[in-house]
Chain A
Amino acid sequence: MDLYINIILLALMAITALAILRMTNIFAIVMLFGIFSFLSAVLFVVMDAVDVAFTEAAVGAGISTVLMIATMALIKNQEEKRPLGHRPWLPLLVVFITGAALVYGTLDIPAFGDPNAPAQKHVAPYYLEKSISDTGVPNVVTSVLASYRGFDTLGEVVVVFTAGIAVLILIGGRLTRPTKRRDK
């Protein structure tokens, strides 16, 4: 049953991505991207990654969409322009070659859900066995994120902080200026 849900959700995501590619109205594209993120969040629940799912739903689908709509409100640009003499062949060729190379790379990869895949055998069993005795946290994702790999999370906070400061430097005092000019 999980497998069928998985297949249908992935097909829906592919269709949504193609719709984003075809659309020219920016607002519709942003809304479709929100749908795309929510579909991926549901898929993460199906694949037993519950922590990732609610982060994706809250941060990926929620905050990203809000940021994009806020940007749209500021730039007042609703339609994407397509130049008439635009030739898609070179980008298509690049994309097909890259995709073919990547598919070639997946041919001998372990099948989906294989419990004996190398990725399942190395570090993960340690965390699953020792999480309770080392940290006392039953949720292994939390214990790895906040305890075993706490410094990585600190680094993540530094990245978010830097990005926040950069956004403030770029558009901090400027948002009100264009309307003031119009008043004069």
Chain B
Amino acid sequence: MMDYIIGHYNYWIAIFLMMVGFYIVISRGNLVKKIIGLNIFQVSVFLLYITMSTVKDGAAPIITEGVKLYSNPLPHVLILTAIVVGVATTALALALVIRIKEAYGTIEEDEIHEQDHSL
């Protein structure tokens, strides 16, 4: 039982972080905070992938004499790409926030809806 909990602890914390990020995105009105929620969600996905790539007593995937067991390099490559793309999308989102602030004078979601009479 204890082994089972320790073996799945990483996945559960990753899911917990994912849900915290998701909650921030859907329940908070401040746009900057929403973007940070999305980023937390993103980091939790990285965590999930790297957890899956880890091999117990494995070395980092750099080929060395006398080392037999390595971690799985493929998720590392995928996540390396995801981190860089994630920063690019964050930059774009923040640029949109700046434009919204210029156009509406606020970055609170409910005030934007009020000005648009859209809710």
**Chain A: residues with CB nearer than 8 A to chain B?**
3, 6-7, 10-11, 13-14, 17-18, 20-21, 26, 29-30, 33, 36-37, 40, 43-44, 47-52, 55-56, 59-60, 63-64, 67-68, 70-72, 74-75, 77, 80-81, 83, 86, 88, 91-92, 94-96, 98-99, 102-103, 106-107, 109, 111-115, 117, 119-120, 123-124, 127-128, 131-132, 138-141, 144-145, 149, 152-153, 156, 159-160, 162-164, 166-167, 170-171, 174, 178
- In the A-B complex, list the 4 residue pairs whose CB atoms are closest, starting with the nearest: A111-B7, A113-B56, A163-B88, A91-B27
Complex Cα distance, B20 from A104, in Å, reads 18
A77 to B29, CA, bound (A): 13
Contact A21 B24 (CB under 8 A): yes
CA distance A4 to B71 in the complex (A): 19
Residues of B within 8 A of A140 (CB): 61-63, 70, 73
Contact with A along B74-102 (1 / 0, CB 8 A): 11110111011111111110111111011
Q: How far apart sit A55 and B87, CA to CA, in the bound complex (Å)?
A: 11
Q: Say yes or no for B112: interface residue by CB 8 A criterion.
A: no
Inter-chain contact A49/B89, CB cutoff 8 Å: no
- Majority-rule SS of B interface residues: helix
Interface residues on B, range: 35 or more
Q: Which residue of A lies closest to B20 (CB)?
A: A17
**Residue among B19, B61, B89 making CB contact with A139, cutoff 8 Å:** B61
Establish whether residues B85 and A138, one from each chain, have CB atoms under 8 Å apart when the complex forms.
no
> Are the CB atoms of B76 and A36 closer together than 8 Å?
no
> Which residue on A lies nearest to B59, using beta carbons?
A48
